[in-house]
Structure 1
């Protein structure tokens, strides 16, 4: 995948490398840049794993962290280029908003990710008197502050969320567009949906619902992180390939059962063959 490699240069060095790769007409130059981006992306993954591992150690070793509605974690030498990625992974792991701060000698940089109905931007705004820069939106925000103010910031935010966050708003809800019959799933429908794009923030990919799919085969892929399944409609016996990114924890509860599934559909091309793929967003 080229996207993470282009992003890695901006996170760890300069985004100009990615731009130059896309614009150059020189094959040798393109190869040289591509090899550099591959090295940078490997470094990015290592830094990300380091921050995630140390963050989880901090949480798991402290009962105070486990009782907090928002996790505020900070440490010296955590690279600012990967703290946002790490925060997203910890949100998925602990099902609560996460703020990660990388602290240097002269500046501390923070990145926040949220979930459910928690407006992380508004919560951080109440601490903005401690920041030297600040911006974001409901689900994600970033800021910087003086290193000596990190402790005060952590204390302030943890006190704010004690009265602002209740368990009901930590539920990660999902909007479903409609229940879709298996007989309606087709390449023609995918082509029609494509005319509604491009999809992204503010225009999400349509999410459908079904209670007719039975998981007849399942396994973990992607270093054990993702759930790959074969789904069979109980009425028609029609089968589809399904993939659930970061849904490895669902493996033990879905097999050989009729499941409630929230999903999107897309065209998947592999070895010159086209198939319809079910992208599972949640399964119960």
Structure 2
């Protein structure tokens, strides 16, 4: 897949590498540039994982629905937007991630991601209006924004940002998680998902990828990625289906209760592996079933 690799070049290196790849007139030349893009993207993924792990450690003591402004000297300004997106999902609250500018380490470049109930650009505009020397420049829209501040202003900005963002969260409410209803066992097939994707194959903001509610009973669990992720063989209405859960300890700790029934919001996906294609459910949110809670309290 070329898209993420082109994107990585713009974040970490020169976008001209991607342009040269697309404009190549020979297969050999295109493959050479594609290989460079592949290596850049591998570097991007490694950096993003390290930065995200650090960010999650920084907010470990924060309650859910609390805004955060995060910064580390070793972070890369081209990756902070990706990390902010992950942390916004983690906290269900506005998040800004900063990194030193490549041109001037005394300037911090920030990327903000927000919730539906807090307008990103408007929030920064309120801060800028009342503290005119604080934000050097900013721009964006409802869900995302970019900004720059002086490194010496980080603590001051962090205090004002989190205070105002949390105030708006209390006033406007948290984001609701909308889903498309329960998924039935008879629908858990590759053919069903492929027909769904063929009918509606463009997803994005305002036209979200399908998310379904499911009651899952694991029959088997194995660890992936050194224990960070889980592969589950589950039953829905007696129908066996494969599921995968990423970053379990941070996002889905209930899945550590071996073979316990749980309710989940799942995203159907096609998994291509070793020349095979199969349906799998990606677990986005999970909680114990009511009967499991009753057993625990008995």
TM-score of the superposition, structure 1-length normalised? 0.79
1:128 correspondence with 2:102: no
SS of the residue 2:30 aligns to: helix
Mapping 1:28-107, distance limit 5 Å: 28-49=28-49, 51-52=51-52, 55=55, 69-76=66-73, 78-92=75-89, 94=91, 96-104=93-101, 105=104, 107=107
Count of residue pairs brought into register by the alignment = 276
Which residue of structure 2 lines up, in the alignment, with residue 210 of structure 1?
A: 214
Tell me, in whole angstroms, the C-alpha distance in 1 between the residues paired with 2:65 and 2:264. Answer: 31
Which residue of structure 1 lines up, in the alignment, with residue 243 of structure 2?
A: 242
8 A contact 1:116–1:169 mirrored in 2: no
Which residue of structure 1 lines up, in the alignment, with residue 141 of structure 2?
A: 137
Which residue of structure 2 lines up, in the alignment, with residue 201 of structure 1?
A: 205
1:256 correspondence with 2:259: yes
Tell me, in whole angstroms, the C-alpha distance in 1 between the residues paired with 2:54 and 2:274. Answer: 40
8 A contact 1:226–1:245 mirrored in 2: yes
Residues 230-281 of structure 1: CA deviation (Å, up to 9, x unaligned): 1113x4x32111122334534313x433322222323434334332222222
Distance 1:168 1:145, change over 3 A: closer
Which residue of structure 1 lines up, in the alignment, with residue 114 of structure 2?
A: 114
Mapping 1:16-27, distance limit 5 Å: 16-27=16-27
Distance 1:281 1:51, change over 3 A: closer
8 A contact 1:68–1:158 mirrored in 2: no
Which residue of structure 1 lines up, in the alignment, with residue 295 of structure 2?
A: none
8 A contact 1:219–1:251 mirrored in 2: no
Distance 1:95 1:179, change over 3 A: closer
TM-score of the superposition, structure 2-length normalised? 0.76
Tell me, in whole angstroms, the C-alpha distance in 2 between the residues paired with 1:281 and 1:58. Answer: 22
Residues 81-121 of structure 1: CA deviation (Å, up to 9, x unaligned): 01112223434555543211223436321111235744434
Residues 110-162 of structure 1: CA deviation (Å, up to 9, x unaligned): 11123574443432231234434323334332122344544443333233235
Return the offset for 1:204.
1.0
Tell me, in whole angstroms, the C-alpha distance in 1 between the residues paired with 2:169 and 2:81. Answer: 22
Unaligned 5+ segments in structure 1 are none
Tell me, in whole angstroms, the C-alpha distance in 1 between the residues paired with 2:206 and 2:76. Answer: 30
Return the offset for 1:229.
0.8
Aligned match for 1:164, one of 168, 172, 183: 168
8 A contact 1:218–1:251 mirrored in 2: no
Distance 1:98 1:32, change over 3 A: same
